[in-house]
Chains A and B, each alone.
Chain A
């Protein structure tokens, strides 16, 4: 079953703009991860944030986590056409070892 939802389902922006995607989840988590998927195939890990962290940066990516609201956001700054992909949040829930529970994803389109 899916953990929760991502918002928006689809996002279209121009190159150079920032893209923000939100993720909500339902249960207590150990950590939350963001993945990118091109063309509906393999996923690429972007960033992991632990439940005791509130914000994390990696290059042009900024992730926040609010465990009280059970939500996270992914910000991509200065977007590029190559950022066009689907983005998924995934949680490792407390007590479930290490399996990932994914959200429904946001399709990002970056145009020139």
Chain B
């Protein structure tokens, strides 16, 4: 079956602009996660959804970052007033129930802020 998909695969934007990154999880997976990975580092947790609600948003770096999952499936990560330091690969993952299960990752969106 289809895996986790993310669009776009690459996004180049200018400092100060607004961007949206989309994640389509595996069908039937109730848990969805966003991570951010900088060059040479491991992924860092941003936010976790269980269904439609954000169960843990403790990893969001500041209020410029926001994520939604209105129907419990597709999720959008939104970044306002982008800064050069936001440049990274943004990874989305989903899991069947979210209770300490294996997570399935998408290919990521590489965001470059000029």
Contact = CB atoms under 8 A, between A and B. Distances in A.
Interface string B71-114: 00000000000000000010101010011111111111000000
A97 B98 contact: yes
Contact of B48 (A30, A44, A90, A98): A98
Interface residues on A, range: 20 to 34
A68 interface: no
Interface stretch (A11-19, A35-43, A77-85): A35-43
Contact of A31 (B37, B93, B100, B107): B100
Interface residues of B, number: 30
Nearest to B43: A102
A44 B105 contact: yes
B41 interface: yes
B12 interface: no
B56 interface: yes
The 3 closest A-B pairs by CB, nearest first: A102-B42, A43-B105, A42-B107
